[in-house]
């Protein structure tokens, strides 16, 4: 089969020779995963380093056997480099603090707020010890900025590990960001002016000021939050309903700063500089546009997704400037190497995985999908059909991981993307223009009203799409084996779309049948299990009883039912492949419950 014949790295037409960086990147990533799971100690790391060094030395020997083995040896070496770098990137904080303390801190980032607190990523000092923490500031206090040090009293604690395997491991998530503590402020906050602000903090402070300027405009609250999110990557104050609408309509990527946003902003810069500079200076237009893109990246806080997109774009256009044939996979692999060499923990970031998968999906499926769409015999048709094919390709490629991480999917997302995405470039350009004007305190009231009207209309349309509950599916169970099986189906789909003959269709159908056989097997395995669990969530106790594919949950009176469903019941149902659920209220005086003719004592 063609797809598998390419993977022979020792053949005359080697994939390693065609895409050396991509193959070496795969082995490098496998090394990171290996170290993350096995956690080799220093002794073994030195052994791995020795083997990797030995491989480097062998490249200087002119030996036929070593020459033939070189591709394999290089893969082994990069596997080892992945292990070594991840060992040194593993975060081990010797600080040990707990309880109430007087703290001094400065903020390094603003995070999503909740009903009670504003959250900031911060560097904290307690009794001469420095560490990174999430600081929870009551909303009664003034918003914090980058210009000040702050002193107050706070309760310091480590985030708890999850009680069960189906729960999100927030402590591990923070640890991958080198954060080990949470600080809950319980006293007045005192501020002192800083005189050691670094250049990146100056960018962050200026961004914060622009965010405050946006808040002062006459646009609706939702339009303001949309503008802050789509250009300045600040989604910290977006209301829960809007976030849910974007999620249920499959348009979250539109709100988050991604490759599309960076490409559109770059295109805007390039268009302006091409008009300003003479025709012979086109290269300078690219260089200036790239410099401006990196200023923009710094201004919005070097967010992970923005940095990834900027690196990929820069690598691509460096190839263009050097008059080298631009290769999407080469640019993709090189940008991933640059990011992972600086921080191997990035590979575990869901955004990292989805963004690179989306680009791979576009590379693999975009052209075949374009071939089956109507002929693009006009500029407008080309723009529309290209946008649609790119959107479908990216959605298909990321679908397995979206189901694995979020366990939900809406068929309306296909239609929503078809109608909304073609207008995304116009919305991004208009939003960028509005942000620029607001940043320089230029206020055109009619523009504010026009922008507010357009965004409010857009949000209402997205809310309408999100309302199609009968095509929205949640708690979709999917494990890693099923994920890889789905990826195989997507890979083989290319050949069916390119040439739908009996051979290609049969191979694809075999992969589909294999996926459903696996799925039925995992469903049957889970149905044989029964269990009784007590869950603890936000000072509430939840009792669950599972029998076969049914589960019943008892929640305490006056508890937040919506949050319990979101953070306890839904993850449990997805992990345990529950098909039927029932939620009951547990009275405080209850001593026992009866479920399916069985009595359970409550202690």
Residue 16 binned pLDDT confidence (cut-offs 50, 70, 90)? low
Average pLDDT, the chain: 88
142: burial class by Cβ within 10 Å (0-12, 13-18, 19+)? Answer: exposed
pLDDT value at residue 417: 84
Cα 502 to Cα 276: distance, rounded to the nearest angstrom: 56
Per-residue pLDDT at 17: 64
C-alpha closest to that of 82 among 130, 37, 41, 34: 34
pLDDT band at 165 (very low <50, low <70, confident <90, very high): confident
How far is Cα 308 from Cα 432, in angstroms, rounded to an integer? 20
Residue 508 to residue 52: CA distance in whole angstroms: 39
Above pLDDT 90, what percent of the chain?
Answer: 54
Q: What is the pLDDT of residue 151?
A: 96
Residues contacting 306, CB < 8 A, separation 6+: 233, 257, 262, 297, 300
Q: Provide the token pair at 188.
A: 């007045």
The pLDDT score that the predictor gives to residue 1 is 37
What tens digit of pLDDT does each residue of 247-305 get? 888 888 887 777 788 999 999 999 999 988 887 788 899 999 999 999 999 998 887 77
Helices (H), 467-593: 480-498, 502-527, 561-564, 570-576
| pLDDT tens-digit map of 403-435 | 999 999 988 888 888 888 878 889 999 999 999
* Pairing outcome for strands 408-410 and 148-157: unpaired
User: How many angstroms separate the CA atoms of 288 and 55, rounded?
Assistant: 41
Q: What percent of the chain has pLDDT over 70?
A: 97
Give the pLDDT score at 586.
83
463-501 b/e with 16+ CB inside 10 Å = b?
Answer: bebbebeeebeebebbeeebbebbbbbbebbbbbbeeee
Using DSSP's 3-state secondary structure scheme, residue 113 falls into coil
Give yes or no for residue 528 having a pLDDT over 60. Answer: yes
Least confident range from 15-19, 93-97, 158-162, 181-185: namely 15-19
Q: Is 100 helix (H, G, I), strand (E, B) or coil?
A: strand
CA torsion sign for 455, 436, 294, 279 is: positive
Distances (CA, A) of 231 to 145, 227, 310, 456, 594: 20, 6, 14, 17, 54
* Distances in whole angstroms, Cα of residue 149 to Cα of each of 28, 57, 146, 189, 270: 40, 51, 8, 10, 40
Other Cβ atoms less than 10 A from the Cβ of 318: the count is: 16
CA distance 386 to 373: 10
């Amino acid at each position: 089969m063609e797809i598998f014949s390419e993977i022979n790295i020792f053949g005359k037409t080697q994939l390693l020779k065609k895409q050396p960086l991509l193959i070496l990147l795969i082995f490098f990533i496998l090394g990171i995963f290996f170290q993350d799971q096995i956690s080799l100690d220093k002794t073994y790391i030195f052994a791995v380093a020795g083997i990797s060094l030995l491989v480097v030395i062998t490249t200087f020997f002119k030996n036929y056997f070593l020459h033939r083995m070189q591709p394999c040896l290089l893969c082994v070496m990069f596997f080892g480099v992945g292990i070594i770098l991840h060992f040194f990137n593993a975060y081990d904080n010797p600080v040990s603090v707990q309880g109430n303390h007087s703290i001094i801190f400065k903020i390094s980032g603003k995070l999503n707020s909740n009903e009670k607190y504003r959250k900031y990523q911060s560097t904290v000092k307690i009794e001469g010890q420095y560490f990174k923490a999430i600081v929870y500031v009551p909303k009664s206090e003034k918003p914090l900025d980058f210009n000040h040090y702050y002193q107050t009293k706070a309760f310091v604690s480590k985030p708890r590990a999850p009680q069960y395997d189906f729960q999100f491991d927030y402590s591990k998530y923070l640890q991958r960001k080198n954060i080990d503590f949470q600080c809950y402020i319980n006293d007045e906050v005192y501020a002192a002016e800083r005189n050691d602000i670094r250049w990146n903090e100056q960018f962050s402070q200026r961004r914060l000021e622009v965010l405050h300027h946006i808040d002062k405009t006459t646009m609706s609250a939702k339009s303001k939050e949309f503008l802050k999110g789509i250009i300045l990557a600040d989604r910290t104050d977006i209301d829960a309903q809007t976030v849910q609408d974007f999620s249920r309509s499959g348009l979250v990527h539109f709100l988050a700063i991604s490759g599309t946003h960076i490409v559109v902003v770059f295109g805007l810069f390039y268009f302006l500089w091409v008009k300003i500079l003479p025709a012979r200076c086109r290269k300078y237009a690219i260089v200036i546009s790239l410099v401006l893109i990196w200023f923009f990246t710094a201004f919005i806080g070097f967010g992970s997704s923005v940095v990834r997109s900027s690196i990929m774009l820069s690598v691509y256009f460096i190839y263009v400037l050097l008059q080298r044939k631009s290769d999407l996979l080469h640019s993709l692999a090189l940008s991933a190497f640059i990011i992972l060499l600086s921080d191997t923990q990035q590979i575990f970031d869901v955004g990292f995985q989805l963004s690179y998968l989306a680009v791979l999906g576009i590379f693999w499926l975009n052209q075949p999908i374009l071939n089956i769409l109507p002929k693009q015999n006009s500029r407008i048709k080309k723009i529309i059909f290209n946008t649609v094919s790119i959107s479908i390709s990216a959605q298909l490629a990321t679908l397995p991981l979206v189901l694995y991480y979020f366990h939900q999917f809406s068929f309306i997302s296909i239609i929503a993307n078809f109608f909304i995405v073609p207008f995304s470039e116009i919305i991004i350009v208009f939003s960028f223009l509005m942000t620029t004007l607001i940043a320089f305190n230029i206020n055109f009231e009619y523009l504010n009203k026009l922008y507010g009207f357009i965004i409010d209309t857009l949000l209402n349309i997205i809310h309408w799409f999100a309302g199609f509950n009968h095509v929205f599916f949640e708690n979709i169970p999917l494990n890693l084996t099923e994920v890889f099986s789905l990826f195989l189906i997507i890979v083989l789909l290319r050949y069916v779309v390119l040439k739908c003959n009996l051979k290609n269709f049969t191979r694809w159908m075999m992969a589909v049948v294999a996926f459903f056989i696996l799925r039925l097997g995992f469903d049957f395995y889970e149905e044989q299990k029964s269990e009784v669990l007590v869950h603890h969530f936000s000072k509430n106790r939840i009792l669950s009883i599972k029998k076969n594919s049914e589960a019943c949950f008892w929640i305490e009176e006056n508890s937040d039912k919506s949050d319990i469903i979101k953070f306890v019941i839904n993850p449990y149902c997805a992990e345990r492949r529950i098909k039927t659920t029932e939620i009951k209220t547990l009275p405080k005086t209850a001593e026992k419950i009866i479920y399916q003719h069985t009595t359970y004592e409550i202690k």
